[in-house]
């Protein structure tokens, strides 16, 4: 029997991966490769690189323990291949193989490359998701608007999660009305699970420090799960200690707490150490046992079977050009503040500092602080896309791009967001304790002390009036703007212009 190669990528670390399912243990060779092209297509945060490489090495060990033959190349090996195709070709030569089994990569870039390989490629669909591309297309075709909420209901019906017959448990599909309270510093909070670094991780950490020490991001205090066993522990820890209050503090931001009741499970889901369905079934069980309130359980399950599956459907439906969309024609270069440049804005300083240290910021920080700032100031959405893809430990294009290009920057012209996610300082003030400690004044509307979000918000709406004036969800906002005193409006716009000039000059804003 001729040996076949079985490709396992760094975000395909699942024992149930379709390519492994089709392979034969005694016959086939698993190919896993640490390669410069994958570690360098954006300047990834060192913690993200270390996480992926350590999880890959642990996964390879586990496969070997189970009797698989694994051809694994490390980044620092002599003659290490520089890219995934090179790794495949080198392994094909070594093992005399001419056929490759692979699960479709989660990125257009690698899909295109694999399709061009001069070998027999069997590309299997990635069934670690609940909704296939075909199923998503069938749902989306013919709809005027692709509303996540309706997609989510389909996924609830399909999985039967928190369903009573064909009706949602508790009589409602969505309990967000009970969620999203302002966090207070005295709220009880447990910490997310952290793990000790073993010898494999320590080796990877030294490699990453040597090779990627100049990338934006701190490597010390790693602490992430790198095996399925650890990821399962992180999941259990979250469900027992954090999930009960997940809904309440979902949108809150606190200077003294970077994680609140968020799960930090996204990296483990995205590389395949955890499955979305097993996680949601555990959450459902905790709710059914009375350990978790319905608003928390439903809200969490919605993020996974709703948002996560929905954005993947959009990514593959919209095609490889999606990341180049720029519906609002924004072109400002990414300012230094995103790379830790000096700023007086406490909210931006916090979001960026925690990103640098943890490779993590939670959803509202990504959407309503760094995302909101990017949209209001008119930063090139592709530059922001590359930033988000680089700096977060859970960033893979299929999930990052729809969130950035679509949800956060409205660059897809409104496929994901029915109106742009913009806000003045009032929203950040309501949901956080940042503003009380800021050089800018959140209640001030014009002049040098005014919170930049207050003036940029109106500047954005004013300059995009033609596009948004007919949006039925924005009519009220434009009416409010129109009713304002003309002198005041002029001061608002002039303050915003002055801020943008300072930003363009590279001043510390
Ligand atoms: P929790 O708050 O605990 O949520 C639970 C889980 O729900 C997450 O682990 C995640 O798997 C899922 N989830 C929640 N919201 C979303 C969403 N909007 N899209 C997809 N899944 C979601 N998520 C990524 O996994 N990778 C990214 O690269 C990424 N980039 C983003 C960029 C921007 C501009 C924005 C606004 C959001 C982005 N998100 C991304 C979505 C979300 O911010 C993260 O999934 C979440 O912060 C991960 O932290 P957590 O595990 O503590 O999440
Ligand atoms: C993110 C990442 C990194 C940093 N390094 C590797 C690597 O060396 N080898 C590998 O197989 N995968 C890596 N990955 C994950 C890939 O970039 C990911 O599989 C593609 O982006 C497709 O989602
Ligand atoms: Fe951010 Fe404005 Fe609040 Fe300062 S006042 S923290 S800039 S929202």
Domains of the chain by residue range: 5-124, 133-192+242-318, 336-505
Q: Please tell me if the CB atom of residue 346 comes closer than 6 angstroms to any atom of ligand 3.
A: yes
The ligand with the least distance to the CA atom of 45 is: 2
Residue-level pLDDT at 46: 98
Q: Please tell me if the CB atom of residue 440 comes closer than 6 angstroms to any atom of ligand 3.
A: yes
- Closest approach atom of ligand 1 to CA 276: 11
Tokens, residue 145: 């608007």
Rounded Cα–Cα distance for residues 248 and 296 (Å): 8
pLDDT confidence bin for 179, thresholds 50/70/90 = confident
- Closest approach atom of ligand 1 to CA 366: 36
- Smallest CA separation from ligand 1 atom 52, residue: 264
Average pLDDT over the chain, rounded to an integer: 96
Q: In this model, does residue 17 exceed pLDDT 70?
A: yes
pLDDT confidence bin for 339, thresholds 50/70/90 = very high
Three-state secondary-structure class, residue 432: strand
Q: How large is the average pLDDT for residues 307-335?
A: 98
Class of 5-124 in CATH:
alpha beta
From the candidate CATH numbers 1.25.40.80, 3.40.50.11540, 1.10.3720.10, 3.40.50.2300, the one assigned to the domain spanning 133-192+242-318: 1.25.40.80
For ligand 3, pick from 370, 427, 438 the residue to mutate: most ligand atoms within 8 Å of CB: 438
Rounded Cα–Cα distance for residues 352 and 192 (Å): 20
- Closest approach atom of ligand 3 to CA 438: 4
Q: Please tell me if the CB atom of residue 428 comes closer than 6 angstroms to any atom of ligand 3.
A: yes
With beta carbons less than 8 A apart as the criterion, state whether 17 and 8 touch. Answer: yes
Place of tokens 């510390």: 508
Total length of the chain: 509
Q: Over pLDDT 70: what percentage of the chain?
A: 99
Rounded Cα–Cα distance for residues 207 and 200 (Å): 11
Strand order in the sheet with 99-103: 69-73, 29-33, 5-7, 99-103, 120-124
Class of 336-505 in CATH:
mainly alpha
Q: In this model, does residue 181 exceed pLDDT 80?
A: no
Q: How far is the CA of 368 from the centre of ligand 2 (A)?
A: 28
pLDDT confidence bin for 315, thresholds 50/70/90 = very high
Q: 5-124 and 336-505 share one CATH topology?
A: no
What phi and psi, each to the nearest 5 degrees, are found at residue 15? Answer: -65, -30
pLDDT digits (tens, 9 = 90+) for 261-273: 999 999 999 999 9
Residue-level pLDDT at 248: 84
Residue-level pLDDT at 188: 58
pLDDT digits (tens, 9 = 90+) for 243-262: 999 988 889 999 999 999 99
Q: How large is the average pLDDT for residues 173-186?
A: 79
- Closest approach atom of ligand 2 to CA 10: 12
Q: How large is the average pLDDT for residues 197-214?
A: 98
What is the full DSSP assignment across 445-460? -SSTTB-HHHHHHHHH
Distances (CA, A) of 290 to 159, 177, 286, 294, 505: 21, 20, 6, 9, 56
Q: In this model, does residue 189 exceed pLDDT 70?
A: no
Tokens, residue 142: 């013919």
Q: Over pLDDT 90: what percentage of the chain?
A: 94
The ligand with the least distance to the CA atom of 312 is: 1
pLDDT digits (tens, 9 = 90+) for 463-498: 999 999 999 999 999 999 999 999 999 999 999 999
pLDDT digits (tens, 9 = 90+) for 363-420: 999 999 999 999 999 999 999 999 999 999 999 999 999 999 999 999 999 999 999 9
Residues near ligand 2 with C-beta < 6 Å?
Answer: 9-11, 33-35, 38-39, 44, 49, 52, 105-107, 110, 396
Q: How large is the average pLDDT for residues 450-469?
A: 98
pLDDT digits (tens, 9 = 90+) for 114-164: 999 999 999 999 999 999 999 999 999 999 999 999 999 999 999 999 999
Burial of 425 (0-12, 13-18, 19+ CB in 10 A): buried
User: What is the DSSP-derived secondary structure letter of residue 181?
Assistant: P
Side-chain-facing half-sphere of 227: CA atoms under 13 Å: 14
Sheet strands (E) in 117-200: 120-124, 163-164, 167-168
What phi and psi, each to the nearest 5 degrees, are found at residue 175? Answer: -110, 25
Residue-level pLDDT at 433: 94
The ligand with the least distance to the CA atom of 224 is: 1
């Amino acid at each position: 029997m001729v040996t076949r190669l079985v490709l396992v990528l760094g975000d395909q670390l699942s024992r149930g991966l379709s390519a492994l399912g089709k392979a034969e243990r005694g016959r086939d060779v698993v190919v896993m490769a640490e390669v410069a092209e994958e570690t360098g297509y954006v300047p990834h945060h060192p913690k993200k690189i270390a996480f992926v490489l350590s999880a890959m090495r642990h996964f390879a060990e586990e496969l070997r323990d189970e009797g698989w033959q694994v051809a694994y190349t490390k980044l620092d090996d002599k003659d290490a291949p520089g890219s995934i195709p090179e790794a495949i070709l080198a392994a094909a030569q070594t093992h005399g193989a001419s056929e490759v089994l692979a699960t479709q990569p989660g990125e257009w870039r690698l899909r295109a490359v694999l399709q061009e390989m001069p070998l027999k490629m069997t590309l299997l669909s990635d069934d670690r998701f609940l909704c296939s591309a075909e199923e998503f297309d069938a749902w989306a075709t013919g709809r005027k608007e692709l509303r996540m909420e309706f997609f989510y209901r389909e996924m609830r019906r399909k999985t039967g999660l928190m369903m009573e017959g064909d009706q949602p448990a508790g009589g409602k599909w969505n309990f967000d009305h009970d969620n999203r309270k302002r966090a207070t510093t005295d709220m009880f909070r447990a910490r997310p699970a952290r793990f000790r670094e073993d010898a494999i991780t320590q080796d990877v950490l030294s490699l990453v420090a040597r090779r990627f020490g100049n990338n934006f991001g701190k490597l010390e205090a790693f602490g992430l799960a790198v095996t399925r066993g650890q990821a399962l522990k992180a999941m259990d820890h979250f469900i027992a200690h954090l999930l009960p209050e997940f809904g309440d503090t979902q949108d809150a931001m606190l200077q003294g707490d970077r994680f609140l009741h968020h799960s930090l499970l996204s990296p483990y889901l995205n590389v395949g150490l955890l499955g979305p369905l097993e996680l949601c079934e555990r959450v459902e069980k905790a709710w059914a046992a009375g350990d978790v309130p319905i608003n928390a359980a439903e809200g969490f399950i919605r993020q996974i079977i709703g948002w996560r599956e929905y954005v993947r459907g959009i990514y593959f439906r919209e095609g490889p050009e999606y990341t180049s969309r720029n519906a609002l024609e924004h072109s400002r270069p990414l300012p230094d503040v995103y790379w830790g440049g000096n700023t007086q804005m406490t909210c931006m300083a916090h979001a960026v500092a925690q990103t640098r240290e943890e490779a993590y910021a939670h959803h509202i920080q990504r959407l309503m602080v760094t995302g909101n700032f990017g949209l209001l100031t008119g930063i090139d959405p592709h530059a922001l896309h590359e930033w988000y893809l680089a700096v977060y430990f859970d960033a893979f294009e299929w999930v990052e791009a729809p969130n950035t290009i679509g949800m956060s920057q409205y660059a897809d012209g409104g496929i994901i967001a029915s109106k742009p996610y913009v806000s003045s300082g009032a929203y950040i003030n309501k949901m956080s304790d940042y503003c009380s400690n800021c050089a800018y004044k959140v209640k001030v509307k014009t002049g040098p002390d005014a919170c930049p979000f207050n003036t940029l918000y109106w500047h954005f709406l004013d300059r995009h009036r033609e596009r948004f004036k007919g949006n039925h969800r924005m009519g009220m906002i434009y009416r409010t703007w129109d009713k304002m005193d003309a002198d005041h409006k002029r001061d608002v716009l002039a303050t915003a212009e002055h801020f943008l000039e300072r930003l363009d000059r590279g001043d510390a804003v």
